Structure 1
């Protein structure tokens, strides 16, 4: 990915984290997955859900898909707790220069470095950029 595109993606991600009802941090998961690898993209999102929920200490979660709710767009997902349907994380899958970048954001308090290391270990992930 070109430095200009990556910088733009980083800046846009930071803008999503600006103060609101919940203080958020995030990361960009740069993948090796192309637009033809829908099943692998789905599996990566499911695996990332488990990793983020574990690091957030939120217990069991489920994934709400953008196409299940008119408040979201396609390729936008949320991880929510099973017991209270509380927010755990949200992501957007973005196709950039032929491969997906997935922007995740979640509540402050997660060990960003440990989370990034575990996300990097998932199949299809090239690298992870932390966004404070």
Structure 2
């Protein structure tokens, strides 16, 4: 992937983390999955959910696709707690230069280095870019 595309994606992700109600961190999960591997990309999203929820110590989570919500776009998902629908993470699944990049943001407070190491150990992950 080119430096320009990486830089653009990083800047867009940083914009999502601008101050709001809660402080957020992010990670761009660069994969080896092609645009033809939607099922594997969704399975990877489930695996990333487990890693982030575990590191955030939020308990059991489910993935909300937002199909019934006009505020959501295609390929946008949230991880919410089973207990009270509390926010754990949100992601966008983007096809860039023929492979998927998954952009996640989540509440600050997790050990970012440990989270990234966990994410990099997952199948189909080439590398992870921390944001910020």
Instruction: Give the TM-score category using the shorter length.
Output: over 0.9
Aligned residue for 1:59? Answer: 59
Q: Displacement, 1:69?
A: 2.6
Q: Deviations over 1:19-54 (max 9, x none)?
A: 001110101000000110011001000000000000
* 1:68 shift after superposition: 4.1
List per-residue Cα deviations over 1:77-119 (Å, max 9, x = no partner). Answer: 0000000000000000011000011100000101000000101
Aligned counterparts of 1:51 and 1:39: Cα–Cα separation in 2: 19
* 2:69 maps to 1:96: no
**CA separation in 1, counterparts of 2:122 and 2:103?**
15
Structure 2 gaps of 5+ residues are: none
Question: Equivalent residue of 2:8, what SS?
Answer: helix
Q: 4+ runs of 1 displaced by more than 6 Å?
A: none
Q: Quote the offset at 1:67 in angstroms.
A: 2.4
1:66 is paired with a residue of what secondary structure? coil
The equivalent of 2:44 in structure 1 is: 44
CA distance in 1, matches of 2:120, 2:65: 23
| CA–CA distance in structure 2, aligned partners of residues 11 and 71 of structure 1 | 22
Q: TM-score, structure 2 length as denominator?
A: 0.97
Return 5+ residue gaps in structure 1 as ranges.
Answer: none
| Aligned counterpart, 1:12 | 12
Distance 1:35 1:78 in 2: 21
Q: CA RMSD in A?
A: 0.8
C-alpha contact (below 8 Å) 1:66/1:75 kept by paired residues? no
